[in-house]
Structure 1
């Protein structure tokens, strides 16, 4: 089981965006030192919910601060990009970083209609534009040239330079959805399963992906909010503000602020979170692994309302107290 970190780049009102970036960079450096597999950045525009309009640029800086950690997007919102430029930018970062890029691709959330409007793109085009972009990227990375005639994009014999270190099925990761899981399996792309959504739907996507692979190697990365402290009480206190914000945003519920209640447990399950001591977190991660059969757990430990120092400690505890247990258990089962 591989462990990675995810940053939605959301902040509370009044928080310095510059400070947000510096704290994420510091956490990425620590994660690199502690042996995490990758760091993933989400893309958001215009709204306070997320302050990351250009994840590839941020990852370029992080690549110069780290040595080995993977550099992922979860995800770039494909409809906003000129596909050739996206192909070039990601390939260049892969070259500069020594082959560390994981280009996670999605179509953007349907509840962000205002964002699409500001870019002058119909939200009804988001899936079509994304699927065409994925095929253009495949040609760019596997063939080196793009010949494509679609509904939104047309290119003839366009050479891509520089070429990335790896082929498309190693470089491209697709956000799981009803329109992408079979495509990901058909081409052997890696699959990114989001935090938000019902567990039953996530299991269905993974099953469909595995079936489409037809015994070819694949990779499932599962995103979850994972927060660990020395004790459950400390973990609950340190995530109180974040939990309240996500309960409102994800579920439309004004959480009453009490932990240890049925409401708290139900909300945690609904939001796909685990918050607790090393023992509790390890147990829940093992249960998720048994249920989903993922290859990589992408842990969100830092979000709006988080304290930087506490998040650094949570990353350390994950690496020193949780990761070894699960990796040892997996080795024993093998």
Structure 2
């Protein structure tokens, strides 16, 4: 198993976003010291759910603060930026990190970000395939050009040149099919269980995907002396983040904003994922691996909403869980 951490860079009530960002860097350093394989950073805009608007920027600073741990984006949103500009950033990080950087990309959502950045709802609804293909062309090690609906430009060299294959966040059948036809590995979210992961992997394979690089999955992780204590910790803390955080997803058009039963969602997260005693966390990780074949998990460790407690969670996971699941 390859185990990393997943940082949403979550802002809980009464926290300042600049402090949350600074703390995220400390968490990545702590994860390296604790033996985690990698650290993955989420991108969000205009909301407290996650306060990192540029996962590549935070990744760059983290790379400069560490020496061994891999650093990736989970994910950089293609619908709100130019794929060649993102490819340039990824190429720089790849070279400057000595190959420690991995680019993860996603479609994003129909949020107000599309209005603010001027890319429009069409880029989200119809443009992801074209955006991904332009990105892949730019990361093919040579020159890139485009002649499509959303991108049209003469051939130019990517500077610095590099060859990278991104990971693609998949939450819907069209994105699964797209990842499969490009033979790109999937990142599966923490909102689905093992059975749903298996369904998405089967769908991927039915479209011809072979995933030469392994698929990944995100999971909530919190360790305590007992499973009851760990679950109670998160059932108390997570709603304080999720309720205002999820309200930050504002549609760009007049569609209904998303809604979720917060209590039911927290019950799901604490029962499905490695939340519990060290033995319970090990059992959960191995169960997912055996049930799905996924060998790379990234653990969302920020669930307590307290920096000291998150550092403690990372250290305990590193000392009491990782040795039993990592190869």
TM bin, normalised by shorter chain, reads 0.7 to 0.9
Partner of residue 251, structure 2: none
Shift of the 7–275 alpha-carbon distance from structure 1 to 2, 3 Å rule, reads: same
SS in 1 for 2:72: strand
Of 169, 176, 181, the match for 1:175: 169
Partner of residue 217, structure 2: 222
Cα distance in 2 between the residues matched to 1:51 and 1:214 = 34
Of 188, 196, 200, the match for 1:201: 196
Shift of 1:64: 0.6
Partner of residue 268, structure 2: 267
Unaligned runs of 5+ residues in structure 2 are 247-257
Would the aligned equivalents of 2:45 and 2:51 in 1 still touch at CA under 8 Å? yes
Partner of residue 253, structure 1: 261
Shift of 1:292: 1.5
Give TM-score, length-normalised by structure 1.
0.85
Would the aligned equivalents of 1:238 and 1:306 in 2 still touch at CA under 8 Å? no
Size of the aligned set, in residue pairs, is: 313
* 1:21 aligns to 2:24 (yes or no): no
Partner of residue 37, structure 1: 37
Partner of residue 259, structure 1: none
Shift of 1:77: 0.8
Give CA-to-partner distance per residue, 1:65-91, whole Å, 9 cap, x none: 001211111111101112221111111
Would the aligned equivalents of 1:229 and 1:313 in 2 still touch at CA under 8 Å? no
Partner of residue 163, structure 1: 161
SS in 2 for 1:298: strand
Would the aligned equivalents of 1:238 and 1:307 in 2 still touch at CA under 8 Å? no
Shift of the 319–64 alpha-carbon distance from structure 1 to 2, 3 Å rule, reads: same
Would the aligned equivalents of 1:221 and 1:298 in 2 still touch at CA under 8 Å? yes
Would the aligned equivalents of 1:210 and 1:218 in 2 still touch at CA under 8 Å? no
SS in 2 for 1:60: helix
Cα distance in 2 between the residues matched to 1:9 and 1:265 = 18
Cα distance in 1 between the residues matched to 2:241 and 2:14 = 18
Cα distance in 1 between the residues matched to 2:30 and 2:239 = 27
Would the aligned equivalents of 1:241 and 1:306 in 2 still touch at CA under 8 Å? no
Shift of 1:246: 6.3
Cα distance in 2 between the residues matched to 1:183 and 1:103 = 17
Of 116, 120, 123, the match for 1:122: 120
Give TM-score, length-normalised by structure 2.
0.86
Cα distance in 2 between the residues matched to 1:168 and 1:264 = 35
Runs (4+) of structure 1 moved beyond 4 Å?
Answer: 211-216, 246-251, 263-266
Shift of 1:126: 0.7
SS in 2 for 1:10: coil
Shift of 1:205: 1.4
Would the aligned equivalents of 2:282 and 2:321 in 1 still touch at CA under 8 Å? yes
Would the aligned equivalents of 2:7 and 2:302 in 1 still touch at CA under 8 Å? yes
Cα distance in 2 between the residues matched to 1:192 and 1:214 = 14
Give CA-to-partner distance per residue, 1:102-154, whole Å, 9 cap, x none: 111101134xx333233333334314322212111211221411122111001
Shift of the 310–121 alpha-carbon distance from structure 1 to 2, 3 Å rule, reads: same
Would the aligned equivalents of 1:239 and 1:306 in 2 still touch at CA under 8 Å? no
Partner of residue 139, structure 1: 137
